[in-house]
Each structure stands twice: as C-alpha cells, then as structure tokens.
Amino acid sequence: MDAKSFEALEDNIDRLANQSERALEANPGPDLPPNVPIHSEADFEAAVRAALDALPTEVVDRLRDVAITVSDDGAANHAYGMFIPGAQSRSQVARWFPWGGANPNPDKIVIYRDTLTRDFGKDQTLLRAKIIETVRHEVGHALGFDEAGVRKLGL
C-alpha cells in the first residue's frame, strides 16, 4: 500500500472511530447495559460482543474472516489483547496464489479477560472502557495498522 492510500485509509478510520464513539455514547448496545456489573464469563463476553457491535459497518465487514475469542491467558502473554495473523497474512505466497479454498488459519483477535479484570475489575466503568479500547486496538491491527499506527489513532 502506498503512502497516499495508507493516509486515506487512516483518515477514513479516524472518521469511523469518531462516529463509533458518538454512537456508543448515545447507545451502549444491547449486550452492554451501563449499570450491570461484569461478574461472570458470560458478562465479560457480552461486553466484548457489545464493543464489536458498536463498530461501524465498514469495519465489521472487514472482520468477517477474523476469529474473535476471549481467553484467560493474558497474564502468560503480558497483554490485554492480541492480534494473531493467520496463514494468509503471514505468507506472501498465499496472497499471490490463493487457491485451495478457505484459509485454514484465519486471522484471530484474542481479548484477555484475566488481565483486564485483574487490572480494571474494581471499577466497572473503567473495565468497560478498557474492554472497548482493547477491542478497538486489536481491530486496528486486524485492519493492517502496526503498533505506532494504532496508537496514532488513539487506540
């Protein structure tokens, strides 16, 4: 991707992030009731789902082939979330010769429940904000931004 295309993509993501932020403030989503504390695995997963549901349609469309999971391996990985590129993302050859059907190793986003709840679980508002921030950060990586690019977007 050339610099001009990258800047256009970055501008579009900035615009979409601002729209998403306003939409989330207006409606936190059906799975993220603002006054219900996150106590269980199901509550945490609902909060992650709500963060994903709040993303703009254009972003969600780009995530169709990305597996999104919740895990308790954050402490082992020293992370709140992680983007793990699949086989096609790692293999330039697979991009040049994409025969063979579906990618057996899709891109993956992992949101780590253990580290997020360990560090932010005492403050439910902060925990929800950090879940949203982590989801958006990892989605930024899935869209092709490196760490500097994701941070430049404020994620």
Record the tokens describing residue 62, joined without a space: 């780009």
pLDDT of res. 30: 46
In a 13 Å sphere around the CA of 74, the CA atoms on its Cβ side amount to: 20
pLDDT band at 104 (very low <50, low <70, confident <90, very high): low
Higher pLDDT, 77 or 12: 77
Strand order of the sheet with strand 66-71?
A: 66-71, 107-112, 81-84
Residue 99 has pLDDT above 80, yes or no: no
pLDDT band at 39 (very low <50, low <70, confident <90, very high): confident
pLDDT band at 96 (very low <50, low <70, confident <90, very high): very low
* 86 contacts 57 by C-beta, under 8 angstroms: no
Average pLDDT, the chain: 79
pTM reported for the whole predicted model: 0.70
Backbone angles phi, psi at 134, to 5 degrees: -65, -45
CB atoms within 10 A of CB 127: 19
Type of residue found at 155: L
Mean pLDDT lowest among 7-11, 101-105, 148-152: 101-105
**CATH number listed for the domain at residues 3-152:** 3.30.2010.20
Higher pLDDT, 118 or 25: 118
